[in-house]
Structure 1
Amino acid sequence: MGWRTVLVNTHSKLSYKNNHLVFQTGIQTEMIHLSEIDSIILETTNISITSMLIKRLVDEKINLVFCDDKALPLANLMPFYGRYNNSLELKKQIDWAQEKKEEVWLEVLRQKLINQSRLLFKREKDDQGKRIEEFSCQIERNDPTNREAHAARLYFNTLFGLSFSRQEETDINAGLNYGYSLLLSIFAREIVLNGCRTELGLMHHSQLNNFNLASDLMEPFRVLVDEIVLENQEEKFKQIKKAILALVQNTYPYKGHLNST
């Protein structure tokens, strides 16, 4: 798998030639070998792309993200079949027991709260960090006491101020939404590559959400986006968005090892 994230934000044509992505505008032509590419983000709707290139991106399992006319991630390209035993893995997923799904979802939520508390400790917000750490120990299956929501309110108000709301149209919220959408595309790709369907989730089960399972599994990793936005909260959305691209380029420690997203 490659390591480059290619961002295309100008009027251009993307095509394929000899295992290369070919980028063309009226004044320049560049080529990048497909083996070097992990993700491509099409940030404007003013781009032409050939069907042959799309086919080869699917072959090479390269994540292709389409943005809308506001440069926000809208969709990503995924193959129908991610691995050789796709039907077997799908059957296993369909047969997941409800009790097991609830157990896994509980662990997902616990890890999400632990990661939020670690970010607050890192920012020297020890009292709030300890409180969310307590929530992670108190949360129960199906969260009957709504600990996740209480933690979210405390967490975001600590990071961005008491007047902050996730419902407002601000540069901070636009940055968070952009980053979460990129995370969603990354998880959706990995789910498909492992032979599962993104529609069949653990706790998310909306008929209008084609990425329920990705929405579930990305929860503990939202904090990666939160930290980047926090560090750039005084900037306009355009600058926050550029900083968020580090999300798909950085490596992160996991069980003593460094791993790329």
Structure 2
Amino acid sequence: MDRIVDIATDGRHLSAYRGFLIVAEDGQEVGRVPLDDVAGVIVHAHGVTWTTNLAVALAQRGAPLLLCGSNHAPVAVCLPIDGHHEVNGRIRAQWEAGKPLSKQLWKRVVVAKIRWQAAVLEAQGHSAAAFETLARKVGSGDPANVEAQAARRYWPLLMGSGFRRDRAAGGANAMLNYGYTVLRSLCARAVVAAGLHPAIGIHHANRGNALALADDLMEPFRPLTDALVVRLLARGVDSLTPASKRAFAGLVALDLPGDTGTTTVSGIATRSAQTLAACFQTGRAADLILPVPPSALEIAGLDGLLQ
């Protein structure tokens, strides 16, 4: 089972021992997780230390180690060098992919994201017919920036007219940051496991972004975090708590519809990354498989993470 391990308590020490990730405080063990179950480790707290053996063990399993700033957004990441037996050929194909292919891939990502936004809004009782119209308007590379047009409609409907997305803010924004960090870690792992280089994106191209491709791949998954934040707010939770962090970490194991049947979010991310690698090698954007927008009943499954 894939698990995201969050370290949010100051002064913890992390190590590897006999196949387990060991969490200790003042020399005493306070928790352990089988290393084979770890999908990623996210460090939010101050004064946390870890052993080289643990970093190596995580890398050998393709699990990223993410370090976060005070706004709960990642600022550094440790990823494995080798992720797939065809890594050289796949990264070469990724690097040599032409702009037409990248633009077609980005179109598919944006369309999937907008349709996910529509599904989340409909699950909240809002009419989202306009979002399907927007999805149909997305062109190769999204030159009209339909993604931004959808966002301008989406956030007020989902969170209220007074909400502004601000990565540096607290409250709901901090919860969104945290949920996105979980998804980013998951997608980074999937990208590396597929033999791709996480810094070579199809759209995100910031020179300082070591996870550009993971950021591209996670876009359709973002509304899943948004839907969970809305549910937390409805329960009076307006800041990050240990319980809400556990809920976000549980997103990776949530069951959702896939192209081959019901699978976990982790499984869908892996499938998306593997098919993206195939797209780079074949030159066919149509081969990219992205998460299918869920039904209202499937979105209601998020409530199980809040218990």
CA contact (8 A) 1:45 1:68 kept: no
State the distance in 2 between where 1:13 and 1:57 align. Answer: 15
Report the equivalent of 2:16.
16
Per-residue deviation, 1:141: 2.0
Structure 2 unaligned spans of 5+ = 267-307
Tell me the alpha carbon deviations over residues 22-66 of structure 1, each in whole angstroms, 9 at most, x when there is no partner.
Answer: 222237324433223333222312222111111111112223222
Per the alignment, do residues 162 and 54 of structure 1 end up closer, same or farther by CA in structure 2, a change over 3 Å counting? same
Tell whether 2:264 aligns with 1:259: yes
Q: Secondary structure at the match of 1:165?
A: coil
Per the alignment, do residues 178 and 111 of structure 1 end up closer, same or farther by CA in structure 2, a change over 3 Å counting? same
CA contact (8 A) 1:112 1:221 kept: yes
Residue identity matched to 1:131: A
Report the equivalent of 2:204.
204
Per the alignment, do residues 235 and 60 of structure 1 end up closer, same or farther by CA in structure 2, a change over 3 Å counting? same
State the distance in 1 between where 2:109 and 2:214 align. Answer: 12
With CA pairs under 8 Å and 6+ residues apart, which has the higher RCO, 1 or 2?
A: 2
Q: Secondary structure at the match of 2:5?
A: strand
Report the equivalent of 1:225.
225
The correspondence of residues 11-160 of structure 1 with structure 2, limited to 5 A, is: 11-26=11-26, 28-29=28-29, 30-69=31-70, 71-126=72-127, 129-160=128-159
Q: TM-score, normalised by structure 2?
A: 0.77
State the distance in 2 between where 1:214 and 1:24 align. Answer: 31
Q: Secondary structure at the match of 1:198?
A: coil
Tell whether 2:242 aligns with 1:237: no
Report the equivalent of 1:192.
192
State the distance in 2 between where 1:68 and 1:166 align. Answer: 18
Report the equivalent of 1:3.
2
State the distance in 1 between where 2:93 and 2:256 align. Answer: 30
CA contact (8 A) 2:62 2:192 kept: no
CA contact (8 A) 1:44 1:71 kept: no
Q: Secondary structure at the match of 1:203?
A: coil
Per-residue deviation, 1:231: 0.9
State the distance in 2 between where 1:155 and 1:70 align. Answer: 23
Report the equivalent of 2:278.
none
Tell me the alpha carbon deviations over residues 79-133 of structure 1, each in whole angstroms, 9 at most, x when there is no partner.
Answer: 112122221111111111211111111111111111111111111101xx10111
Per the alignment, do residues 122 and 236 of structure 1 end up closer, same or farther by CA in structure 2, a change over 3 Å counting? closer
Q: TM-score, normalised by structure 1?
A: 0.90
Per-residue deviation, 1:74: 2.9
State the distance in 2 between where 1:145 and 1:32 align. Answer: 46
Q: Secondary structure at the match of 1:232?
A: helix
State the distance in 1 between where 2:146 and 2:69 align. Answer: 34
* Backbone CA RMSD of aligned residues: 2.0
Per the alignment, do residues 59 and 146 of structure 1 end up closer, same or farther by CA in structure 2, a change over 3 Å counting? closer
Report the equivalent of 2:286.
none
Per-residue deviation, 1:232: 1.4
Per-residue deviation, 1:152: 0.5
CA contact (8 A) 1:249 1:260 kept: yes
CA contact (8 A) 2:6 2:42 kept: yes
CA contact (8 A) 2:72 2:177 kept: no
State the distance in 2 between where 1:205 and 1:176 align. Answer: 22
Residue identity matched to 1:85: E
State the distance in 2 between where 1:4 and 1:166 align. Answer: 28
Per-residue deviation, 1:72: 4.3
Per the alignment, do residues 43 and 144 of structure 1 end up closer, same or farther by CA in structure 2, a change over 3 Å counting? closer
State the distance in 2 between where 1:61 and 1:153 align. Answer: 36
The percent of aligned pairs where both chains have the same amino acid is 28
Tell whether 2:215 aligns with 1:215: yes
CA contact (8 A) 1:67 1:73 kept: yes
